[in-house]
Amino acid sequence: MIEYTEIGNFIYKKQEYKMFIDDERRYYFLKITDTGKEDYIDIHEYIQLINKFKDVEEPLLITNDNKSKKRKMTPKIFIAGILVTLTLAFTMIMNAMAPTMDLHSHTQDYSNTSSYVVEVQEEDNDKAQQAIDELYRYVEQENSNFEVDTRVDGWNLIKIYDLSELDDVLGYPKEAITYDDIINDINNNPNIPTKFKSIYIELANDLRAQYPTMDLRVWHLNLQTLKIVELSEMDMKLKAMSGTACAVYRQDENTIYTVEGYDYVPGTWDYQVIKHEMGHPIRSLITHIGENQVKVRFQSYSGHGTITGEALNSLLTLRSYDPDERDVAYQFQSNMLELMVDSMDNYTYQDYVEHNLTYFEQKLNEHNGNNEAVRMLGLLELQYDDYHDKNMTIDEATFHELYDYIARMYYAKHLNPNMLPEEAEYVRDQFIDRLTYDVPEEYNVDLDHLYEFFNEYCAEIGLNLSYGR
């Protein structure tokens, strides 16, 4: 049996599911029947749900030694009408491959997969063969090791998940590239229009003041070929596959696309967005060195890292050095993550540039003295999906423990038992303001719960809210 941490319940396409994740980033789901009982799902549901929650380009799985309260289960799904027990190898493959799977086309190159075994629960050879045939439609067998650390080599491909690995791959240390080099790269790049060069140089100087020792090698390599291209609104919709995007970074092209005609004035939304997109080439890279293709993609190290990575990128490129600028892309998620990072003494946005997101999870656990980071970041991303996906419905109370987790970090830094009630309530009001700033009403943040937790926390640390009144 496998130990799974329960993330929470959600409704997708009018069906309620319960989501679990194990220590090696493998997802599993149970459906909730009309009578409230748990039941197994079929192969099609399994792939659709993994595609939904594991939206990363290069997912990998790692060994996680953290232990927390988990539920032991034997993962099973229905295939070809019969119940099949999933082994560790199979759940690993399905989670790793899901982002590139198409339920209606099975011709993709599923390289870097691993062999699998299934156990058929019925002694029926015909149905057993049907089950195996169904699996072969989705999985190409090939041995590989998914237990990785900071780098994976093979087939003329090097995947890097920590910038310390660049010392060996590039043959020079991070100190070899300075902010002056970055500014020269920007000025000398003919594919960056003049009006964007000034914004990019401003970003470089702001980061220099805040993070003078940051590893700049990925940024330097990207700036050799980076393009910034202005498109019409219609062409942008086609390029970004979105009806609302005004800018997007395409890593496969090393190009930032943006809508033509914007002035990019500080304080405007257009300015926030272009700074956000300019941040992606700082830590994400596809290049060739000798005979090897080199990929630096830190988000893929974490099973649910896409939205977390996007929000941290917004914080790196704007709020980390300009706290007075409150508007930021991925507003609610950025608000939550900023409160976490500001409360930590063992993590900065420079760490975000230089390490994978699992490093962030580890530092959260280290700071808080528990093993809740994976589950809390899972809730953060689940809430984003709930807001943006019309097929999904989740009870707002599901996210209360996420708010409590963040509040506990913030209050631990800013509250003490000797405070006057007025001082403590000021801290509370500052926290609630920062958490909920510019958050759409559709998120339905329960303010009453935020006040209730504040009272509970004060009682827990012995802070008397009636003292002096």
Q: Look at residue 6 and tell me if it is in a domain.
A: yes
Provide the whole-model pTM.
Answer: 0.74
Most confident by average pLDDT, 97-101, 133-137, 248-252, 395-399: 395-399
Q: Look at residue 58 and tell me if it is in a domain.
A: yes
Last residue of a domain, one of 235, 266, 296: 296
pLDDT in tens, 89-145: 555 555 554 443 333 222 222 223 333 344 445 445 565 555 555 454 444 333 222
Residue with more model confidence, 277 or 239: 277
Enumerate residues 6+ apart whose C-beta is below 8 A from 327. 267, 269, 272, 438
Q: Look at residue 26 and tell me if it is in a domain.
A: yes
If asked whether residues 186 and 253 sit together in one domain, one would say yes
Residue 63 confidence (pLDDT) = 29
Q: Look at residue 386 and tell me if it is in a domain.
A: yes
Name the domain count of the chain.
3
Which domain does 392 fall in, by range?
306-461
Residue with more model confidence, 128 or 219: 219
The CA distance from 20 to 5, in Å, is 5
pLDDT tier at 424 (50, 70, 90 boundaries)? very high
Enumerate residues 6+ apart whose C-beta is below 8 A from 282. 216, 218, 219, 222, 316, 353
If asked whether residues 336 and 445 sit together in one domain, one would say yes
Residue 369 confidence (pLDDT) = 94
If asked whether residues 283 and 346 sit together in one domain, one would say no
Q: Look at residue 269 and tell me if it is in a domain.
A: yes
Q: Look at residue 284 and tell me if it is in a domain.
A: yes
Last residue of a domain, one of 268, 296, 324: 296
Q: Look at residue 245 and tell me if it is in a domain.
A: yes
The two tokens of residue 84 are 């099949």
**Nearest partner of 340 among 302, 306, 301, 379, judged by Cα:** 379
Q: Look at residue 215 and tell me if it is in a domain.
A: yes
Give me the sign of the Cα torsion angle 211, 215, 218, 220.
Answer: positive
